[in-house]
Amino acid sequence: MTQAPWATAATSGDFWTISMPQIAHGTPTLRYSAMAIGALSKWISHTKFKQLRAVTAPSVSSPEADTHYFNAVAYYCRALKLQNQQASLQDAVFLSVLLLFFEILRGNRKAALDHINHGLALLLILTTDADAQNHVAKFAPNPLPVISSVADVFTYLAPQARLILRGKFG
């Protein structure tokens, strides 16, 4: 997961360049999660680590050197708090993708796996719920490409997540 060849599944079409910025602009939950990714990326770019795999959370905090890291965590928490206060299936699906990216950048494999499993469960609800047609219609004026882009990320990662879990528990 840390090498992110799966990220290409999320970069097809206009999902990240057009759809997600528009969706995040109007949705504080997603905006804060995008800000968390940006702040974490900024922190990583200023660290001494040469590879993303080597990145670890600061053990001794330096307010000046680690400001972006702590802002990233604060934005992450804010996004989760907002989602809890204003629960939305649509936001939760997008949030799972964004927080998956955040946790991979942070190097937290367990949390990334949790976001994969949560995202898959949400997609299952979205497509099989009795009110599925209404849920899908709320995503976008043309929801199928947007949902397809999100589903591509999770369907690519699901078998890999199972292999990781099988290696740990099987």
**Chain segment 111-156, per-residue pLDDT in tens:** 888 888 889 889 888 888 888 888 888 777 777 877 888 888 888 8
138-144: list long-range contacts, CB under 8 Å, 24+ apart.
Answer: 138/90, 139/90, 140/19, 140/23
31 inside domain: yes
The whole domain housing 34 covers: 14-169
7 inside domain: no
9 inside domain: no
Query: What pLDDT is attached to residue 12?
Result: 55
The predicted-structure confidence for 27-85, as pLDDT tens digits, reads as follows: 999 999 999 999 999 988 888 765 556 666 676 667 677 889 899 999 999 999 999 99
5 inside domain: no
164 inside domain: yes
Domain count for the chain, please give it. 1
Could you give the residue ranges of the DSSP H alpha helices within 2-131?
7-11, 20-25, 28-46, 67-85, 89-106, 109-128
6 inside domain: no
32 inside domain: yes
Residues 170, 38: contact at Cβ < 8 Å? no
23 inside domain: yes
Residues 33, 99: contact at Cβ < 8 Å? yes
